[in-house]
C-alpha cells in the first residue's frame, strides 16, 4: 500500500498548528470547519466543542480516543 500526500485543501479542517502545552508536551491542533477542535497528542486524540473550551476548560471533552503506547 502506498501513501501519497497531496497539496489540496482538506474538506473538514479549517486550520491546523502544533503547540507546546508545557513541559515539552506537543499537541497538533486541528480547527474543524464547524468550529470544533481536534487535539492530537502522543497519548490521545480529543474532540472539544470549540477553541474556548480547549483553551479554558480542557476537562470538558466531547470525546476521546486513547492511543496505544508505543513504548
* DSSP-assigned states of every residue in 2-59: ------SPPSSEEEEEEEE-STT-EEEEEEETTS-EEEE-SSEEEEESSHHHHHH-TT
Note the pTM of the prediction, 2 decimals.
Answer: 0.82
16-26 confidence digits (pLDDT tens): 999 999 988 99
pLDDT digits (tens, 9 = 90+) for 36-71: 999 999 999 999 999 999 999 999 999 999 998 765
Overall residue count recorded for the chain in this entry: 71
Amino acid at each position: 500500500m502506498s501513501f501519497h500526500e497531496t497539496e489540496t485543501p482538506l474538506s473538514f479542517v479549517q486550520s491546523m498548528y502544533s503547540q507546546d502545552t508545557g513541559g515539552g508536551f506537543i499537541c497538533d491542533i486541528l480547527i474543524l470547519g464547524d468550529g470544533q477542535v481536534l487535539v492530537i497528542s502522543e497519548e490521545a486524540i480529543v474532540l472539544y466543542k470549540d477553541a474556548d473550551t480547549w483553551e479554558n476548560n480542557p476537562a470538558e471533552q466531547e470525546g476521546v480516543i486513547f492511543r496505544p503506547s508505543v513504548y
